[in-house]
Amino acid sequence: MLRGLTTITYLADDVAAARDWYAKALDAEAYFARDADGALAYAEFRIGDYQHELGIMDRRFAPPQPDGAAGAVAYWAVDDARAAHERLLALGATEHQAPVERGPGYVTASVLDPFGNVLGVMENAHYEEVLASLRG
């Protein structure tokens, strides 16, 4: 049974550059790093209310993908999807999908980071409800 988000891993050819870009985008420093073959091969951040993990892994260590494989979009909760989308674009990301209202309390948007990964942001009423219930 799935218990919740643990780690999302993005790929990059230059992990140090990706780590530095995400440090700016997240306004946080990586808390963990690992080298391989004399270069940074993996960096990891803890993000948000539940300290979910975002890992950046050297693309050469990624498992092979079969032809035609579909990818998932991980959406990270934000207070304002439109503002988050604009900020990521200003940091050098490119538009993947402009903000879309999916229903009352739900707005999604996504960008391609400078390393080719899809980064989704979402205003999510359910996330806010769960967070409020955990706070008491």
Q: Residue 69 class from Cβ within 10 Å (0-12 exposed, 13-18 middle, 19+ buried)?
A: exposed
Q: What letter does residue 74 receive in the DSSP assignment?
A: P
Domain boundaries for CATH 3.10.180.10 within the chain: 73-136
Please report the pLDDT score of residue 70 as a whole number.
67
Q: Are 55 and 44 in contact (CB under 8 A)?
A: yes
Q: CATH says 1-60 is which class?
A: alpha beta
Average confidence score pLDDT of the chain: 92
CATH superfamily of the domain spanning 73-136 = 2,3-Dihydroxybiphenyl 1,2-Dioxygenase, domain 1 (3.10.180.10)
Domain boundaries for CATH 3.30.720.120 within the chain: 1-60
Residue 2 has pLDDT above 70, yes or no: no
What's the predicted TM-score (pTM) here?
A: 0.85
Task: Return the sign of the alpha-carbon dihedral for residues 90, 13, 98, 121.
Answer: negative
Distance between CA atoms of residues 30 and 53, nearest Å: 10
Q: pLDDT tens digit string along 7-39? A: 999 999 999 999 999 999 999 999 999 999 999
Q: pLDDT tens digit string along 63-122? A: 887 777 667 789 999 999 999 999 999 999 999 999 999 999 999 999 999 999 999 999
